[in-house]
Amino acid sequence: MSKMFPTLCSPAKIGNVTLKNRILKAPQSSGMNNMDGTVSERAIRYYSDQAAGGAGCIIVEYAYVDDIGAKSAHCHLGISNNEHIPGLAWLAECIRENGAVPAIQIEHCGRQKFLGTQPICGPSAIPWPKLWDQYGIQSVPHVLTIEEIQDIVHAFGDAALRAKQAGFEIVEIHGAHGYLLTNFFSPTTNQRNDLYGGSLENRMRIYLEILRDVRKKVGPDFAVTIRLSGTDYEPDGFPIEETVELAKALEKEGIDGIHVSGGDHHTMIHQVSPMAIEVCHNAWAAREIKKHVKVPIIASGSITLPKYAEEILTTEGGDFVGLGRPLWADPEWPAKAAADRPEDIRPCIRCNEGCLERTFFTYKAVTCALNPVISREGELKIKPADKSRKIAVVGGGPAGMEFARVAKLRGHDITLFEERGILGGLLNEAAAPEFKSDILPLIKYQVTQLKKLGIPVEQRRAGIEDLDQFDAVICATGSTPIIPRIAGVDKPIAVDSLTAINKMDAIGKKVVVVGGGLVGSETALDLAERGHQVTLVELLPQIMNGVAVTDFLAYSERIAKTDMRIMTDTRLTEVLDDGIMVETKTGNQKISADTVILALGLKAEQGLYDELKTAGKEAYLVGDAICAGKIFDAFHTSYRLALKI
Ligand SMILES: Cc1cc2nc3c(=O)[nH]c(=O)nc-3n(C[C@H](O)[C@H](O)[C@H](O)COP(=O)(O)OP(=O)(O)OC[C@H]3O[C@@H](n4cnc5c(N)ncnc54)[C@H](O)[C@@H]3O)c2cc1C
Ligand SMILES: Cc1cc2nc3c(=O)[nH]c(=O)nc-3n(C[C@H](O)[C@H](O)[C@H](O)COP(=O)(O)O)c2cc1C
Ligand code: SF4
């Protein structure tokens, strides 16, 4: 029994189903299924691992309920016909065998059909703006007739029955996130004037009809839950007050639990929030709905750490928590919480780089920036090395620390060298703005793992002369700022981005940040929010190049609240004593400043590696030392090398 998280780790019921703890894996499309919607072996391994990590219940990702317009994305899971049942039964069995209650979400995508192919269905002919931009007229939904609505209602009921036949113990109706049901619920997307449009009663009709049909087919004792967005966060969308009324009506109709999320795909930052949005972002909505119904409430969204979950559960914020990304970053999150070892949980940093970005924007299966094992379960396992070797890791950034952890677990004898007084490398600079603070628990986690594994850390610069006694050297030496050869760059007014971040107090009131990539844009935003007068200068036509989409959206909102001046298509030509000269499309001009911050990129630090190779030593590069990149690259390159060496 957990002393630290007693409520989180205590059993409770949803309908007639008892969960061993209050943790449900939130449903998340994985891109791991077969093209015809059947379950793949890869998905079986993935879900088995997720279940083995200790969650009370695994809600399998959304599964489309019909073969007409319900399928949303590539490699989407299907539950639309009996051909899908054998694979689903295999999946349910594996989840149960690994200790969790198997649940599945059933869904119709409505107008939010990533595939962009007709038929796209909706209550009204109002397209999803993203799809309109991509596909134009083809994205306009076919307006469902009453008969077609009834067919969809029955398709949900049939799908729920298939879930039950396959051995799932809970079925969750997807009534959130901008898919078909919310298209009916939201006045923005529903402009009907029949029984399914207009009044709140009419807009919620399809939810109740679906629940009735599902209940009729699965019987009174089978657990049925629904996922709702507390609000869609759209200016003319549905407010929490309407969702509360919907929740009350669903309770009356016999729902067994309500899983509360938020947003749609247009307001994605409220659904899959990046680190610039506060943690537990939609917990307020779960708390509000809980005040009005008695059925169990599952709070979800950005509940990254067990302490947040325990707080929600003990302050009337919900009865269960739904965790999505946190169980990708660390599938053993529940087991570690139960063992009172929260310090061993690898915390999701809400970067979206390994998950959302990959699946929605590059059509790949999901993985995690911090956990390359996701989608490669059973393949990328940490196994004992054939022979223990004496290995030096030079660099205590994320890449060096991750290599050290994995190689030590494999039985190697590791010594880590770090020349700065602190571990974490550039993660320290990355975590400096208040809106990047999710990175701090990651540094803490990595440092803790080194300590627990007893890996000695030499706090000094390692040169080739220090490395003779080692069988191999891992150069995790990171990257350093690029300083361009431009007149005046060595004037006292100019500083590189890393120096600036570490000496915020020394930065003048009026600042020019040169370089609108990730580092420059974030530094400019941070300074603007701290009250500096900031001009951001970028050579390309737009800023925030290389920034993840959800960060881009969150930063855009924040930038709009500052008076930051943005100059794109602008080239730095000279640093002056009191500002800079730039070349723009309309001519040259001076920008006055007290401080000039040069954020013009980073270059891989390979000096030591070159020396070692020249001397014939076994040496390897990992992380930024290969090519200045991201946390994803630091973890993935290190983990993979550590499995091989
Ligand atoms: C301001 C900023 C914000 C960022 N934000 C993000 C973000 O939001 N998301 C993201 O994915 N990435 C971000 N990054 C990039 C990310 O921080 C890097 O990709 C990552 O830190 C690289 O890890 P690493 O271990 O390879 O190198 P580093 O983190 O650079 O670590 C290298 C370490 O090696 C040490 N070292 C070097 N040579 C020696 C030597 N000879 N002896 C001893 N020690 C040595 C250095 O002191 C350093 O601590 C950001 C970077 C910066 C600068
Ligand atoms: C790649 C990806 C796929 C998702 N797929 C689904 C889904 O199938 N059904 C659903 O209700 N929510 C889906 N979501 C939303 C998550 O369930 C969850 O609400 C969101 O990730 C925020 O919670 P978290 O911070 O715990 O991850 C998805 C999120 C991501 C990142
Ligand atoms: S890729 Fe980033 S956001 Fe996604 S699960 Fe991993 S740490 Fe979390």
The DSSP line for 415-482 is: EEE--SSSSSTTHHHHT-SGGGTTHHHHHHHHHHHHHHTT--EE-S---GGG-TT-SEEEE---EEE-
Q: Which ligand gives the minimal distance to the CA of 351?
A: 3
26 lines ligand 2 (CB under 6 A): yes
pLDDT score at 265: 87
**Residue 419 Cβ contacting ligand 1 at under 6 Å:** yes
CB hemisphere CA count around 352 (13 angstroms): 25
Using the mean position of ligand 3's atoms as its centre, give its distance from the Cα of residue 305 in Å.
13
Q: Tell me the torsion sign for CA atoms 511, 517, 522, 523.
A: negative
Tell me the C-alpha distance between 188 and 180, whole Å.
13
> Right CATH number for 12-362 from 3.50.50.100, 3.20.20.70, 2.60.40.1080, 1.10.10.10?
3.20.20.70
> What is the mean pLDDT, run by run of 10 residues, along the chain of 645 residues?
96 98 98 97 98 98 97 96 98 98 98 94 96 94 98 98 98 98 97 97 98 98 98 94 98 98 92 97 98 98 98 98 98 98 98 93 93 97 97 98 98 98 97 97 98 98 97 98 95 97 96 97 98 98 94 96 98 97 96 98 98 98 98 98 97
Query: Separation of 425 CA from ligand 1 center, angstroms?
Result: 4
pLDDT at 1: 84
Cβ burial, residue 82 (10 Å; 0-12/13-18/19+)? exposed
Q: What single string gives the DSSP state of each residue in 522-552?
A: HHHHHHHHTT-EEEEE-SSSSS-BT--HHHH
| pTM of structure | 0.97
Q: Are 108 and 152 in contact (CB under 8 A)?
A: yes
Ligand 2 centroid vs 337 CA: distance in angstroms? Answer: 21
For 390-481+603-644, CATH number?
3.40.50.720
Identity of residue 369: A
Instruction: Quote the ligand 3 centre to 418 CA distance (angstroms).
Output: 26
Q: Percent helix, strand and coil across the chain, each rounded to 5?
A: 35, 20, 45
Best CA proximity match to 642, nearest among 451, 445, 389: 389
Task: Report d(CA 22, CA 11) in Å as an integer.
Answer: 6
Write out the catalytic residue numbers: 179
Distance, in Å, from the CA atom of 501 to the CA atom of 466, rounded to the nearest integer, reads: 31
Domain 494-600 bears CATH identifier 3.50.50.60? yes
Q: What is the pLDDT of residue 330?
A: 98
Sign of CA dihedral 450, 455, 457, 461: negative
Confirm or reject: Cβ of 624 under 6 Å from ligand 1: yes
**What is the per-residue DSSP string for 94-109?**
HHHHTTSEEEEEEE--
Instruction: Report pLDDT for 565.
Output: 98
Cβ(593) to ligand 2 under 6 A? no
Which ligand is nearest to the Cα of residue 392, counting in written order?
A: 1
> How many whole angstroms from 114 Cα to the centroid of ligand 2?
15
**Alpha carbon distance 158, 520 (integer Å):** 53
**Angle 549-560/518-529 helices, nearest 10 degrees?**
30
CA distance 255 to 223: 8
User: Which atom of ligand 3 lies at the shortest distance from residue 367's CA?
Assistant: 1
Q: Determine the 3-state secondary structure of 110 from DSSP.
A: coil
Residue in 350, 356, 632 to alter for ligand 3 test, most ligand atoms within 8 A of Cβ: 350
Shortest CA distance to 171 belongs to which of 218, 220, 229? 218
Q: Which residues contact 128 (CB under 8 A, 6 or more apart)?
A: 111, 112, 113, 139, 178, 265, 266
Pocket of ligand 3 (CB under 6 A): 325, 328-329, 348-355, 368-370
Ligand 2 within 6 A of 123 CB? no
- The answer, yes or no, to whether any atom of ligand 2 lies below 6 A from the CB of 325, is yes
User: In the chain, which segments carry CATH 3.50.50.60?
Assistant: 494-600
Residue nearest to atom 8 of ligand 1 (CA): 430
Residue 215: strand, helix, or coil:
helix
Mutate to test the pocket of ligand 1, among 499, 627, 631, 632 (most ligand atoms within 8 A of CB): 631
Which two structure tokens, joined as six digits, stand for 459?
């706090």
Does the CB atom of residue 631 touch ligand 1 within 6 A? yes
Ligand 2 midpoint to CA 73 (Å): 14
Say if ligand 2 is within 6 A of residue 259 CB.
Answer: no
Cross-strand partners of 399: none
Every domain of the chain with CATH number 3.20.20.70 lies at: 12-362
Best residue for ligand 1 mutational test, from 349, 401, 426 (most atoms within 8 Å of Cβ): 426
Residue pointed to by tokens 């677990």: 409
E strands, 16-89, in order: 17-19, 23-25, 57-64, 77-78
